[in-house]
Amino acid sequence: MPVNPRRPQPELALTPAQEAFRDEVRDFLGRVAPKQWLEPGWRPPSDVKERLAFQREWDGKLRDAGLVGMHWPAEYGGRGASLLEQAILEEELAWCGAPQAGLTFVGLNLVGPTLIAHGSPAQKTRHLPAILASEEVWCQGFSEPNAGSDLASVRTRAAVDGDALVINGQKVWTSYAHAADFCMLLCRTNPEERRSRGLSLVIVDMHAPGVEVRPLRQATGESEFNEVFLTDVRISRADVIGDIDDGWRVAMTTLLHERGTALLGIQVRQRQLVDRLIARVKTMERDGRPLAQDPMVRQALARASIECDVVRHLGYRCLETAIRTGLPGAEGSAAKIFLSDFIRRFSRTALDIAGAAGLDMGEEDWGHQYLGSFALSIGAGTTQIQKNILAEHLLGLPRG
Average pLDDT over residues 31-41: 80
| 311 and 342 Cβ atoms separated by less than 8 Å | yes
Spatial distance between the Cα atoms of 358 and 361, rounded to a whole number of angstroms: 5
Residue 227's beta-bridge partner residues? 214
Model confidence at 351, pLDDT cuts 50, 70, 90, reads confident
Whether 246 shows a pLDDT value over 80: the answer reads: yes
What per-residue confidence (pLDDT) applies to 187? 94
What per-residue confidence (pLDDT) applies to 11? 58
Model confidence at 355, pLDDT cuts 50, 70, 90, reads low
Amino acid at 12: L
**DSSP string for 189-237:** S-TTS-TTTTEEEEEEETTSTTEEEEEEPPTTS---EEEEEEEEEEEEG
Which one of 258, 320, 363, 392 is the catalytic residue? 258
What per-residue confidence (pLDDT) applies to 112? 92
Residue 147 DSSP code: B
Spatial distance between the Cα atoms of 166 and 238, rounded to a whole number of angstroms: 13
Residue 165's beta-bridge partner residues? 160, 235
End-to-end Cα separation, the chain, in angstroms: 51
User: Does the annotation mark 392 as catalytic?
Assistant: no
Spatial distance between the Cα atoms of 185 and 343, rounded to a whole number of angstroms: 30
Whether 26 shows a pLDDT value over 70: the answer reads: yes
What per-residue confidence (pLDDT) applies to 302? 94
Spatial distance between the Cα atoms of 12 and 317, rounded to a whole number of angstroms: 9
Spatial distance between the Cα atoms of 106 and 220, rounded to a whole number of angstroms: 22
What per-residue confidence (pLDDT) applies to 258? 60
Whether 394 shows a pLDDT value over 80: the answer reads: no
Average pLDDT over residues 8-12: 55
pLDDT digits (tens, 9 = 90+) for 131-180: 999 999 999 998 888 766 667 778 999 999 999 999 999 999 888 899 99
Specify the pTM. Answer: 0.82
| 318 and 260 Cβ atoms separated by less than 8 Å | no
Half-sphere exposure of 360 (CA within 13 A, CB side): 3
Spatial distance between the Cα atoms of 156 and 225, rounded to a whole number of angstroms: 18
| 360 and 397 Cβ atoms separated by less than 8 Å | no
